[in-house]
Structure 1
Amino acid sequence: MRILLTNDDGIHAEGLKVLEQIARKLSDDVWVVAPEEDQSGVSHSLTISDPLRLRQIDEKHYALKGTPTDCVIMAVKHIMPEAPDLVLSGVNAGGNLADDVSYSGTVSGAVEGMMQGIRSIALSQEFLHETNRDNIPWNTVLSLAPDILKKLVKIPLPEGVLLNVNFPACEAREVTGLSVAPLGHRGHKILIDKRADGRGLPYYWMYFSRGKGENKEKTDIDVLQDKAISVTPMKLDLTAHDFLHSLEKALGSA
């Protein structure tokens, strides 16, 4: 099995090193094509107005001056001798849950793999945000992901479906199980922090304040709060199917 790894935290990210250790428990044919720099929050963006600069690190490791989407396309269309059998994106430093997936470069790396017709899985390791990134429990995903992936790669997936897997913010021995769950709703608030540089000129930081949205069923958010692993099947179809008929009637085209 040929595996392609990418991420959005960049080629030097600890989570990518962890992902490679995980992937090598599934196969010896592992390729890495990851962004040269942190691309968190870029979603499914594609670089079309600037050139892509590719740096080869060794035979199967490459850094690209681009997005996770760029990385997957370059790997499949240019770098690899044949398309991979599996795309793994991550391991992201922090969960990619609920509304987060619309911004996530990690998830979008898997989205692009799916669009290329390749089985694709995004992996993220949640951590307690009141602690710093030095305390991310990487051993949780490192020890538990291989067996989960071995099961997931054998399950037939419908066309156009990818998998989003999140590991809870606890040690591996504390994990309570695994649940398949839909995406939840967090109720994001986007805030702007205005500051001044050394010359008194303004600059701005954009950041999120995560609320707790109302969810009518158990979602991926609840699963991680229960210290379990969440697995969410996702697809790219954004059509509001339940509104199609009503819209047709309102426009008089039904």
Structure 2
Amino acid sequence: MSLRILLTNDDGVDAPGLAVMLEIARALSDDVWIVAPDGNQSGAGHRFTFGRELSLDERGPRRFAVVGGSPADCVVAGMTHVLGDRPADLVLSGVNAGQNLGDIVNCSGTAAGAREGVLQGAIGIAMSQSMDFEVSHTPNWSNARRFGAEVVQAILAAKLEDDVFFNVNFPFCAETEVTGLAAVAHQRFSRSPIRHYPSDNAGKFFMAIPETPMPLDPAADFEVLRRGNAITVTPFALQQTHQAALARLGTIALKGQ
């Protein structure tokens, strides 16, 4: 039986990166479905739309947009409704226009698509094509196109049955300069990179990432991608309980008890 693949993203159903992901998926299977937001949902994280009606807009064979929905909404709609009695084996989220590294993954709609895929019983892989925003705001998708299917096959071949989703970033160097696939930890920043950023319009402001918090771990995803020209893959655990802290909390009690 062919691998059933569900695609989603946070840039919207018409985003160029989703077309790249479709190329990647079709190199792996002929049973590929798309359920993606009808518009940009970057930074939506793992938000669900509760208390407000959503709708599915069929855009073509096996291609649907969730009107007003988040990436997590899309995966749930795909896994529990669109695909009927046979949900996807693999959820691929992306390819995002721009890198998703370090603590930024916590607010990433791309990452949330893969995370919800695992929560729904599939293998979940998020993919992002990194960019040098000082040079251009238009992604070069060549590395995602060239290596995407091979990266997915490598992850599947590892036969990891752990409770994780995978976050993949492709470097923005030339194809011939890619040094390989590196399994790395994510960069834990010294503080949140998200900051208040003033607008030119009086009384208005943006949420932005004006600079990268320092210092950076040379062995973590940020620097391995940027300086090492490697395709980075990071497994993120779904069981988030900190066991050492849990053990310490287990020794405390209320006064008088």
Q: Same fold (TM over 0.5)?
A: yes
**Aligned counterpart for 2:47 among listed residues 28, 45, 48:** 45
Establish whether residue 206 from structure 1 lines up as the match of residue 210 from structure 2.
no
Q: Distance in 1 between matches of 2:196 and 2:174?
A: 32
Q: Distance in 1 between matches of 2:253 and 2:161?
A: 33
Shift of 1:215: 5.1
Q: How many residues align?
A: 248
Q: Distance in 1 between matches of 2:169 and 2:144?
A: 9
* Change beyond 3 A, Cα 1:189–1:112: closer
* Change beyond 3 A, Cα 1:84–1:129: same
RMSD (Å) for aligned C-alpha atoms: 1.8
Contact 1:192 1:204 in 2 (8 A): yes
Counterpart amino acid of 1:69? A
Q: Which residue of 2 aligns with 1:223?
A: 224
SS in 2 for 1:100: helix
Q: Which residue of 2 aligns with 1:124?
A: 128
Bigger drift between 147-156 and 23-32 goes to 147-156
**Please, what TM-score do these two structures have when normalized by structure 1?**
0.92
SS in 2 for 1:10: coil
Q: Distance in 2 between matches of 1:166 and 1:185?
A: 16
**Please, what TM-score do these two structures have when normalized by structure 2?**
0.91
Structure 1, unaligned runs of 5 or more = none
Contact 1:189 1:211 in 2 (8 A): no
Establish whether residue 77 from structure 1 lines up as the match of residue 80 from structure 2.
yes
Shift of 1:245: 2.4
**Aligned counterpart for 2:28 among listed residues 26, 43, 64:** 26
Stretches (4+) displaced over 6 A? none
Equivalent runs, 1:1-254 vs 2, <5 Å: 1-65=3-67, 66-81=69-84, 82-134=86-138, 136-186=139-189, 187=191, 188-196=193-201, 202-214=203-215, 218-225=219-226, 226-251=228-253
Q: Distance in 1 between matches of 2:50 and 2:234?
A: 31
SS in 1 for 2:152: helix
Q: Matched residues, percent identical?
A: 38
SS in 2 for 1:108: helix
Q: Distance in 2 between matches of 1:189 and 1:162?
A: 23
Q: Distance in 1 between matches of 2:188 and 2:164?
A: 20
SS in 2 for 1:210: coil
